[in-house]
Amino acid sequence: MSGANRTLPSGQGKPVVAVLGTGTMGKAMARNIAAAGLGLRAWNRSRAAAEPLADVGAEVCDTPAEACRGADVVLTALANEKVVESVMDQARDGLDGHPVWVQTCTVSPEGGRHLAEQAARLNVPYVEAPLLGTKEPAVAGTLTVLAASPQQEAREEVRPVLDAVGARTVWLDEVGQPSSLKLAYNAWVLTTVEGIAESLTLAGTLGVDPRLVIDVIDGSGLNSPYVQSKGPKMIDDDLDTPSFPLEAAAKDASLITHTARAAGLRLGIAEVVCERLHRAADDGLGRADVAATYRTSRQAAS
């Protein structure tokens, strides 16, 4: 690949990064990239969402190609595989410098390999890099990055970027493996959220204060920061400012169940969680936090 042995400008080891997609996660990562002293270019389908990044020195661009032109690393933080593929096709004319493409969207393992094939057609090195963490760790720069690349040398080039957005990078051997691990992780996350919702609903239906569920879990071997953060938000109905939007969780749940079926597995709990999340999205809760599944649980109990 022609960009494989490219050196960074002035030999400084400080890449210029183009962030394509400045939603909740993309904007937070872009701010941390700028805070790390890296060059920053930004594009979003709605330019207004990217404009605030000018305050941290970003060059806000009108097209994906413009944002990628002159960049050393392109980081995509977009909604799904189809959108990622489309945006990178739009960026084609700005990729003459062969920047390393860091793809952070949650996709299926097959989707990760499909995007790696697109990178090969675009003649750019590719790093599959789904993220563990939601809005709060994204803002704090403490995400965990799951990564793999067909180009060994790309690892070192993207290290300053991954260090800026995350506290830990876990490198796997092959493209597709980071997405597989991300889906396994999210299966646990979504099962935990649904489990909290059902426990609180059961307690309330049986006439017990749901807060006591959170209290007795606290200090036990099953306690976790997730229980202590999501549980009170469910009880207080403080769910309209999402750290992980329910519509994104429903998308991930579908990826989990479809990928499992393709592998010959039928995941009982994940199938139920997927159905519950899609029902909540159909009830108009897609833009609320994933913990809003509790609202659907309470409606079912009434």
pLDDT in tens, 125-137: 999 999 999 999 9
**Which residues on adjacent β-strands are paired with residue 60?**
42
Q: What is the pLDDT of residue 3?
A: 42
The dihedral formed by the CA atoms of 177, 182, 185 and 186, expressed in degrees to the nearest 10: -140
Tens digits of per-residue pLDDT, 221-240? 999 999 999 999 999 999 99
- Per-residue pLDDT band for 13 (boundaries 50, 70, 90) equals low
Q: pTM for this structure?
A: 0.94
**In which region does residue 207 sit, left (phi positive, over 0), alpha (psi from -120 to 50) or beta (all else)?**
left
Token readout for 87 is 């945006």
- Per-residue pLDDT band for 244 (boundaries 50, 70, 90) equals very high
- Average pLDDT of the segment spanning 297-302: 76
- Taking 70 as the threshold, does the pLDDT of residue 4 lie above it? no
Buried b vs exposed e over 179-216: b needs ≥16 C-beta within 10 Å?
Answer: bbbbbebbbebbbebbebbbbbbebbeeeeebeebbee
The dihedral formed by the CA atoms of 227, 232, 234 and 238, expressed in degrees to the nearest 10: -130
Who wins on pLDDT, 14 or 279? 279
Tens digits of per-residue pLDDT, 79-98? 999 999 999 999 999 999 99
C-alpha span between 158 and 167 (Å, rounded): 14
Tens digits of per-residue pLDDT, 150-193? 999 999 999 999 999 999 999 999 999 999 999 999 999 999 99
**Beta carbons within 8 Å of 75's beta carbon, 6+ residues apart:** 17, 18, 19, 20, 26, 29, 33, 102, 104, 161
**Beta carbons within 8 Å of 290's beta carbon, 6+ residues apart:** 190, 193, 242, 244, 245, 246, 248, 249, 277
- Taking 80 as the threshold, does the pLDDT of residue 276 lie above it? yes
Helices (H), 69-207: 81-90, 109-122, 135-140, 152-165, 177-205
- Per-residue pLDDT band for 300 (boundaries 50, 70, 90) equals confident
Is residue 290 a contact partner of residue 246, using CB atoms and an 8 Å limit? yes
- Average pLDDT of the segment spanning 8-28: 82
Who wins on pLDDT, 182 or 13? 182
| Mean pLDDT, the chain, integer | 94
Is residue 111 a contact partner of residue 141, using CB atoms and an 8 Å limit? no
Who wins on pLDDT, 302 or 180? 180
> Cβ of 169: how many Cβ atoms within 10 Å?
17
Is residue 114 a contact partner of residue 17, using CB atoms and an 8 Å limit? no
Q: Which residue has the tokens 């991300």?
A: 182
C-alpha span between 125 and 122 (Å, rounded): 9
- Taking 50 as the threshold, does the pLDDT of residue 5 lie above it? no
Query: At 64, which helix (H) or strand (E)?
Result: helix 64-68
Instruction: Calculate what percentage of the chain has a pLDDT beyond 70.
Output: 95
Q: What is the pLDDT of residue 8?
A: 47
